[in-house]
Every structure is written in structure tokens, then in C-alpha cells.
Chains A and B, each alone.
Chain A
Amino acid sequence: MSDHQYSEDHEWINIDGDVGTIGISNFAQEQLGDVVFVDLPQVGAEVSKGDEIAVVESVKAASEIYAPVSGEVVAVNDVLNDAPETVNADAENTGWFFKIKLADEGELDGLMDAEAYAAFAKG
């Protein structure tokens, strides 16, 4: 998944055509620890970049997930309802959260590639 792009909110997005698949970074899941609940958005919801559209809860913390881009939620990862630990096991692949049909590809500008994100996460 080398073509992931990353936000400063520790989310990743992977673009396929005009749909972006979104999840949290491996670094973020390590920091959160054991994930026990993910509150996913409704399919069909129209969201704007920066909206709080999901929540991920670990044993010790609750964190908001922001929409990294504007558009329509076209799919959510139902696997996480019964197996939220998938986020810990495979954050940047099968542990994806939701897919958004992009309203404005220009919003992808400013995201980081894997190398830049690794440097960012290290602080």
C-alpha cells in the first residue's frame, strides 16, 4: 500500500479513481493501543473536509476521526463492528474505516507521502 497518502491527523487515504479509502495510520493504532469500538458514519452521508465523522475507541482513549476530504460516504468497513481489533492487526489495509467519493480532488494537495509522514510521526 505504498500509494497511501497521510494527514497530520494520522489518517491515511488511498485513491482509486474518484473514491478514497480512509483509515488510521499504523503509528496511530500503536499509540491508541487495543481498539475496542469504532463508530462508523452512515453510508450516503455527505461530508465536508474536517467534519468529525467517526470515533475510534481504545481501552484507554476515545479519538475523533475527521473526513480528510469532502464528498459522499459510499462504503463503511462493517468488519470493524464485530472485530474492531482489525484496526490493530492491519490498520493500513483491512482495518480501513470508510470510503468517500471525492467532491474535490484538489483537497488531496498537502497530504504527505509515506516517507514524509514517517518523518512527521517521529516528531
Chain B
Amino acid sequence: MTEGVGFGILMSLADSQFWYPEADLLTHSEEPQADKLHQTPLDALHRELGARMVPFAGYDMPVQYPSGIIVEHKHTRAQAGLFDVSHMGQVKLHGADRIAQLESLVPGDIEGLASGGMRYSLFTNDKGGVLDDLMITRCDDHLFLVVNAGCKEADIAHLKKHLGDEVVEVLEDRALVALQGPAAVAVLSRLAPAAADLAFMSAAEMDINGIKCFVSRSGYTGEDGYEISVPSDQAETLARTLLAMEEVEPVGLGARDSLRLEAGLCLYGHDLDPETTPIEAALTWTIGKRRRQPGAFPGADIILDQIENKPARRRVGLVPEGRALAREGVEIVDADGTVVGTVTSGGFGPSFGGSIVMGYVQLASAAVDTELGLVVRGKTIPAKVVKMPFVAKSFAK
């Protein structure tokens, strides 16, 4: 599990850290430790574009390019951003029983997907907690999974243990890029006309300028867009072709985080973890109606009980007064000053135009418009529970 750098613990300017683990703010590049990190197939391109690279989940990743996080974020909402997410795990599941086998590990209705259909789901444990969140696409002769970089070793071991080594194929030779934003459809259809007709949360093989890709209409920004799985040795050619389009700019992990936070989407290891159930996380919609049977998936009894009787705490969005940011770990208090929860993600929302917070609070404090407080550096900042997303989503219909 990815441990976040606690923003509750302040550092001097010289020791400041990104929210990304282990990334020293004022550390210069060309540090020897960079050798131990994995590099994505787009590493040279990132450096050529002037990216600031940081270690993330064992990979050397671009946190931002020279234009900076706010510009990259706003460009994605206005035009289109290109993200390298090759650190994520891409896995194919084979075998005649693959759907039933995968359904034994996730609460999503995979059988109910049409061919090419895609679903957001979760690996759960026996306590109903979340081991990872993932994307599952049903293809004709296999299932295609995309899992988090920080969890992929554990996820692969989990799949092999329960499904058997022989049906789990890890795609080591493929990169993954995301093209996100309102202009994404115009950009990609120029190269692959079929992209325009791809429905939201579906996927298909597509030829992009002669490169055979697997393209889904999906993303992690709250915008319309695509995620493109591409052979590693052609990833840079594809990325350069996309970046050559007037609407497209490269976007790093920093803006990826602020975009997903504004969209109200969970970041694994922060907003989701093995101690947190999908019901607490306000992800009840991921528990397929057909799957709501005792013993149908790990932790089903606990999860079904929470659907029936409500969980003790729930994930909510909060908007604080003023500009102060409330980072992960900040305590949430009620009007009496009693601690009722904790911030799991918080920061500046460039499109929202201010400080936004995601956290878990006791159910009695979870209703929209509840007045709460955030304890930042000893001061209690008033904050109100709001509906998420913080910024309206604009997915393709």
C-alpha cells in the first residue's frame, strides 16, 4: 500500500516534500537513487519536455512539466492533456472460467458486461476492505485489467493464488497513456475515426497512425477522454503524434491528482485501503445488484450488512472557508470540537478555485451542508460538507 507523505508534518523549505512518497522538493536531479527506479517507455520524452521527475511507486515519473500544475490542470479541462500512466499494471485473464473466477474476488457484475464493456471495480478482503481499485474490460477471449502501480505486485500474486498462474498474463511490454479533456475526441478521431463512436466505459482495438492500440473511453480526471494501451516500443511515437496536435499538452502526476480530487475520485492508499469498505467509501454503486448474495465475493457479509444497516462512517467532500489547505491526516471536528473524522485527500482545486477536501466522517456528520471544522496547524477552519464532484463531470454520453 502506498503511504502518503503526511502534510500534517511540516518541513522547512529545504526539506519540503511533494505529496509523492520519498520525493525531496529541493533535491537535484541525477541522484544515484534514480538508478534503482523503473523507467517508463516515455522517460526520455519526459526529460526532453523538461519534466520534473519524482519517484512514485517505484517509478521515475513526471510530477509536472515547465508550465506547472495549475496550467496543466486547467489545460486538461479546457483542451486535452496527455498523461503517462505506464506505471500502472496491465493484466490479461484467460481461461474458460475467467469471469466467474474474477467475480469471486470483486463485487462488480462482470458477467453483465457486453463484449468491449468496461467497469470500475475493487478487490476486497474478508473484512470487506479494499485491496485495490481497478478497471476491468470484457474482451471476447480474455478480460483486461488495469491496476494501481503501488499494488500491482500484490494484485498479481492475489490473482495467481486464486485463479492459477497459467491464466494470469502480465503485459510487461505495453505502455499506457491517457488523453483527457473535451478536445480528446476531436484529437483521437483525427487519427482513428472509430474513437468518436466509442461509448463511455467501453474499449476496442484501434489502429492509431498504424500503431495497433487497445483504446478505452475512460479516465481519472472527470473529463471525457481515452486511455490507450500501446506496445512499449511504439509508445514514444504515439505520444509525439498526439503532442503534435495543437490541443494537446503533456500533463504530470501533480495535475492528475488535482483533477481526480476535483472529480471526487478516490486515490488508493489514501482514500481507499484494506480497512475501508466500499460502502464507507460511498462506492455502493460498484456492488452489482446481481452480486448482492452472501459469500459472493470476499467480505460480502460485512458489505451487504453495511448496505442494509449503513456504515459507521462515510467518505464525504468538504469545502473549507478561506484559502488554507487541509492535507491528508488533518482532523475533522464537529461544532463541539469533537473529532469526527480525518482528511484522506486535500489540496487546491485549480478549476474549483480554492481549497477542497475529501475525508471520512462519522455518519451523523456526513449529511450535505453539515458544518464541521478542519484542524490545521492548531487552528480550526470552518468547513461544510458538500456533494462531490467539486467540479461538474463532463463525460461523453
Q: Which residues of A contact B (CB under 8 A)?
A: 8-11, 24, 28, 31-34, 36-37, 39, 52, 55-57, 59-66, 81, 84, 123
Contacts and interface: CB of A to CB of B under 8 A. Distances in A.
Most chain A CB within 10 A, of B7, B20, B25, B258, is at: B25
Contact of A64 (B10, B63, B323, B348): B10
A42 B11 CA distance: 21
B25 to A, nearest CB: 5
B14 A8 contact: yes
Contacts, number: 84
A62 B10 CA distance: 6
B70 interface: yes
B214 interface: no
6 contacts: A33-B64, A36-B355, A37-B348, A37-B355, A60-B64, A63-B16
Contacts of A55: 10, 377
Given A10-B26, A39-B324, A52-B10, 8 more contacts: A33-B64, A34-B69, A60-B63, A60-B64, A61-B17, A61-B18, A62-B7, A62-B325
A118 B389 CA distance: 44
Interface string B5-24: 00100111110111110000
Q: Which 10 pairs from chain A and chain B are nearest by CB?
A: A36-B348, A63-B16, A10-B13, A34-B70, A59-B69, A37-B323, A63-B13, A64-B10, A61-B16, A60-B18
Interface residues of B, number: 30
B259 to A, nearest CB: 11
B62 to A, nearest CB: 13
Contact of B69 (A8, A33, A39, A57): A33
A24 B12 CA distance: 12
Given A37-B348, A59-B258, A60-B19, A9 B12 contact: yes
Interface of B: 7, 10-14, 16-20, 25-26, 28, 63-64, 68-70, 254, 258, 323-325, 327, 347-348, 350, 355, 377
A9 B18 contact: no
A63 B10 contact: yes
Nearest to B347: A59
A60 B10 contact: no
Contact of A34 (B7, B25, B68, B377): B68
Nearest to A82: B323
A9 B377 contact: no
Contacts of A66: 12
Contacts of B12: 9, 63-64, 66
B322 to A, nearest CB: 9
A52 B242 CA distance: 46
Contacts of B347: 59
Nearest to B376: A39
Contacts of B64: 33, 60
A101 B325 CA distance: 30
A11 B13 contact: yes
Contact of B28 (A32, A37, A123): A123
